[in-house]
Amino acid sequence: MVLFYMFKMRSEAMKQMILIATTLFSGLALAEDCAMTIDSTDTMQFSTSEMVVPASCDSYTVTLKHTGTLPRNIMGHNWVLSKTADAQAIAGDGVGAGLNNDYIKPGDGRVIAYTKVIGGGEETSVTFDVNALSADESYQFFCSFPGHIGVMKGALKVQ
Ligand code: ZN
């Protein structure tokens, strides 16, 4: 009888632990779905060319890391989001805005979200409102450091 009780208690405790573990895990998975980390390098590359933002997220956070060693005035990177049709013009105007403005024209209404320009070993992040985006629109993310948009760009979809 005592043995039976002990067994029963242990299996109840195990059930509890599994329940707690499952709850923790699904909480983590939810948080991960509404955030992403993207790496950038000394060889002018982003670690991905496609990003998918779940439409179920209210907001989405992109963390940009620079895994290289070069300084921001030589090989600086940022992460900029706009409609695909606006990207080239934003980058073009960004050249004139200069590094002090993170190569983004101040008050540029075409920019949906952007991070500051970082150098090797640094990281930064930006959070934007997913409800302001449409699943029917074509979006592009890119680096607006002069000359980088040619290779540092990718597609962002909401679905
Ligand atoms: Zn760059």
Distance 59 CA to ligand 1 centre (A): 24
**pLDDT above 70 as % of the chain:** 80
| Residue 14 alpha carbon to ligand 1 centre in Å | 50
Between the alpha carbon of residue 57 and those of residues 29, 38, 62, 127, 129, the distances in Å are 12, 18, 13, 11, 9
Give me the pLDDT at residue 17, please. Answer: 54
For residue 87, how far is its CA from the centre of ligand 1 (angstroms)? 14
- Rounded distance between C-alpha atoms, residue 110 and residue 132, angstroms: 13
- Residue 140 bridge partners (DSSP): 82, 155
How remote is the CA of residue 29 from the centroid of ligand 1, in Å?
30
- The pLDDT assigned to 142 comes to 98
Cα of 143 from ligand 1 centre, angstroms: 5
Model confidence over 21-75: pLDDT tens digits? 544 554 444 554 899 999 999 999 999 999 999 999 999 999 999 999 999 999 9
Q: Which of 17-21, 44-48, 110-114 has the lowest mean pLDDT?
A: 17-21
- DSSP-assigned states of every residue in 99-138: GGGTTS-TT-TT-SEEPPPB-TT-EEEEEEEGGGS-TTS-
Non-local CB neighbours of 117 within 8 Å, separated by 6+ positions: 72, 76, 77, 78, 99, 102, 103, 145
**The pLDDT of residue 33:** 86
Q: Report the mean per-residue pLDDT for the chain.
A: 88
- Token pair in block for residue 9: 């208690």
User: Are the CB atoms for 159 and 52 separated by under 8 Å?
Assistant: yes
The mean-pLDDT minimum among 7-11, 55-59, 123-127 falls in: 7-11
Average pLDDT over residues 143-148: 98
Centroid of ligand 1 to alpha carbon of 107 (angstroms): 21
- pLDDT (average), residues 72-89: 98
At 6, the pLDDT band (50, 70, 90 cuts) reads low
Q: Ligand 1 center to residue 154 CA distance, Å?
A: 13
